[in-house]
Amino acid sequence: MTATAPTLRKSIKNKAPGLRLEREQWDLGCGSVAGIDEVGRGAWAGPLTLAAVVVPREKRLYKVRDSKMLTEAEREVMHDRVIQWADHVSVAHASREECDQLGMSAAQKLAAQRVLAGLGVAVDHVLVDGNWDFVETVPTTKIVKGDAVSLSIAAASIVAKVTRDRMMRDWHEHYPAYSFAGNKGYPCPRHKAALAAYGPSAIHRRRWVFMDDLRWTGVPRIVDPDDDLAQLDLF
């Protein structure tokens, strides 16, 4: 049985994403339009996770919002509702090892191909959040803050976020010192303190600049001179 969606808070009640962008592609003859969103690109630990959602043309699901607007409890409820409502849903990951070995851009492209393959349907057009086409193999529309305006991208943002958060809570059981249940692998004071005390865990990305401060552990940072991201400290 699907859980009842919580009553929307006033602050987000009038911020519903719509189907204008999807309808534009349907009107152009695209039979299947997927929204894709990612989570975990800026984390220091864990996978990069992408979700793709193909929404129904006639059946609406209310209370879908950009995942960042929702509380964790609200996302959990809406995740299950999206799974039952959508025509097609897929989730795919690039592992910590793939993020390190390939670099984040290539890892995201790899995860994008995996998530499209997992839909089980040929996609005619993709809507992605942001200003970068990481799909390349399917005609794509880039929308800055797309998770706030496109229903398919907003639904994908919820599925990706909840899926990865659940994974990080599971990893917390193995590595409680890093507080993954709370920070989901992103930098925060407790996470940084644990890294300083214990060094990186098996799921920490070894390409990030924070590794430069942990040389005493004997675990080297992975640096590819051709990877611009390896030269940047984003946090």
Q: Are 97 and 72 within 8 A, CB to CB? A: no
Q: Are 40 and 164 within 8 A, CB to CB? A: yes
Q: What pLDDT score does 228 carry?
A: 46
Of 32-36, 60-64, 144-148, the range with the lowest mean pLDDT is: 60-64
| Residue carrying the six token digits 């992103």 | 186
Higher pLDDT, 214 or 189: 189
The letter for the amino acid at 208 is W
Strand runs labelled E in the chain: 33-39, 48-54, 88-94, 125-129, 140-143
Give per-residue pLDDT as tens, 88-139. 999 999 999 999 999 999 999 999 999 999 999 999 999 999 999 999 999 9
Asked if residue 2 has pLDDT above 60, the reply is no
Give per-residue pLDDT as tens, 33-48. 999 999 999 999 999 9
Every domain of the chain with CATH number 3.30.420.10 lies at 12-171
DSSP, residue by residue, 76-110: HHHHHHHHHHSSEEEEEEE-HHHHHHH-HHHHHHH
Asked if residue 230 has pLDDT above 60, the reply is no
32 burial level (CB within 10 Å; 0-12, 13-18, 19+): middle
Instruction: Work out the end-to-end distance of the chain between its first and last CA atoms, rounded to an integer number of angstroms.
Output: 42
DSSP, residue by residue, 4-21: PPPPPPHHHHT---BSHH
12-171, what's its fold?
Nucleotidyltransferase; domain 5 (3.30.420)
234 burial level (CB within 10 Å; 0-12, 13-18, 19+): exposed
Asked if residue 176 has pLDDT above 90, the reply is yes
Q: What pLDDT score does 206 carry?
A: 86
Give per-residue pLDDT as tens, 211-228. 776 654 556 656 664 554
CA atoms of 21 and 23, how far apart (whole Å): 5
CA atoms of 122 and 110, how far apart (whole Å): 17
At 12, the pLDDT band (50, 70, 90 cuts) reads confident
